Amino acid sequence: MVHRRTIDGEAVVFGVQGALWGNAMTFWDHDTGSIWSQPLGEAIAGPRKGQTLELLPVTFTTWDAWLETHPETLALDVSAGESGFDLSRMAIVLDLAGDTVAYRYPDLLELGVVNDTVAGVEIAVVVDPADPNRWETFARRLADDTVLTLAIENGRLVDAETGTSWDPVRGFGLEGPLAESSLSVLPGFTVFPRDFDTFWPEGRFWAP
């Protein structure tokens, strides 16, 4: 998860606090010493308790999958052990205006696309048919108020309304009547399903 570190117009310096809260990382701000929950982006103790940070779009994927889509990326090279992850054990979450929905990754892999509505926003959670390690969350409503229904057909992401094909990671129209359009990226993020209720007890799991 990535949060904007601006509070009341001022950039704030954060550090890892060290303790876990709800089986997840906490961090602290250097100017007030407040403790923040990483999944919630919310101060849970200290002078800023109750304040929240803006959640930004982020992709959790492999380095190879990222480089294929973003070959110009530079990364910090540090000495560290090899790390790994398994998206199939996780869920993709959208938290919009207090409506929080989790989509289990095995369901996404099976379907390719889930069209849903979260907090009144028409959304799609998409897995790249060319690489199961790439996924993204989009708004399905275009600037002209057209609402699309997305699906994977013959290995391509297409909309049922016009047959336009779309880039499944960046949301660009590729071929068809909407080739000059783009889908807005939403701030989806990954969690372990077992931890979802800890942080979003009023949330829900999407079911096929």
Confidence class of residue 167 from pLDDT cuts 50, 70 and 90? Answer: very high
Q: Which residues contact 39 (CB under 8 A, 6 or more apart)?
A: 1, 22, 24, 191, 195, 199
Tell me the whole-structure pTM to 2 decimals. 0.85
Q: What is the mean pLDDT of residues 31-52?
A: 92
Asked whether 12 and 6 are in contact (CB, 8 A), the reply is yes
Confidence class of residue 21 from pLDDT cuts 50, 70 and 90? Answer: confident
Has residue 57 got a pLDDT over 90?
no
3 vs 11: CA distance, rounded Å: 12
Q: What is the mean pLDDT of residues 193-200?
A: 93
Has residue 157 got a pLDDT over 90?
yes
115 vs 11: CA distance, rounded Å: 36
* The domain made up of 87-205 is a member of CATH 2.102.10.10: yes
Has residue 121 got a pLDDT over 90?
yes
The domain ranges of the chain are 2-56, 87-205
Q: What is the mean pLDDT of residues 97-116?
A: 96
Token readout for 206 is 């999407």
Beta strand pairing call for 55-56 and 173-175: unpaired
